[in-house]
Amino acid sequence: MVRRHFLRLLWVTGLVLLINWVHVIPALALGGPQPSLNQPAPDFTLPTNTGDGSISLSDYRGQWVVLYFYPKDFTPGCTLEAKRFQQDFPKYQQRNAQILGVSVDDVDSHREFCDSEGLRFPLLADTDGTVSKAYGSWLGYMSLRHTYLIDPEGLLRKVFLGVQPAIHSTEVLASLDEFQKSAITQ
């Protein structure tokens, strides 16, 4: 009885410390330090399965960018998330937004994944994790499921951590609508 009480007290104390730690260091998440909101998003150039073979963030100045990191092509959660983004792709285009997916998979894997799932937006090959690290989305050997909403001037406006693949595209669209509405009223 005493041991169970002690273990419960230890667990609660650890939970309280973790909660307090998260509030003290809000820019740190699983994967590393997050880039600062309302500051320029880290620029990059990565190989892709589409177009001329590489894409830079700066290629999309003047458009909103949904930069989403995911662990691996052809896995259930990643496939579901990609299909939802593809399903909503026309809505993003209507809002002057481009979707860019990033994982450690190579260009050939991305090409096969896009062909298999009917994806019409670029997937970028961050095979060494450099860009994932710059965005705080790196877990040793793979990208984490994080999304970054970047405005037409290249400023990071919103970070999505703890993404749920089935509803994530809807969440991103809602945030994009909020930002675009607030820009109109200013």
Domain chopping of the chain, boundaries: 1-28, 31-185
Report whether pLDDT(91) > 50: yes
Which segments within 34-180 are labelled E, that is strand? Answer: 45-47, 54-56, 64-69, 97-103, 123-125, 147-150, 156-160
CA distance 164 to 119: 19
Name the active-site residue from 41, 66, 78, 125: 78
Among the residue ranges 42-51, 80-89, 176-185, the one predicted with the least confidence is 176-185
First to last CA, the chain: 61
pTM over 0.85: no
Burial of 14 (0-12, 13-18, 19+ CB in 10 A): exposed
* Tokens linked to 131: 């860009």
Report whether pLDDT(14) > 90: no
> What are the tens digits of pLDDT across the range 29-77?
578 899 999 999 999 999 999 877 999 999 999 999 999 999 999 999 9
> What are the tens digits of pLDDT across the range 123-178?
999 999 999 999 999 999 999 999 999 999 999 999 999 899 999 999 999 999 99
Q: Kindly report the length of the chain.
A: 186
Q: Is residue 114 annotated as part of the catalytic site, yes or no? A: no
Torsion 151-157-159-163 (CA) sign: negative
Task: Please answer whether residues 123 and 104 qualify as being in contact, where contact means their C-beta atoms are separated by less than 8 angstroms.
Answer: no
For 31-185, CATH number out of 1.20.120.530, 3.30.930.10, 3.40.718.10, 3.40.30.10 equals 3.40.30.10
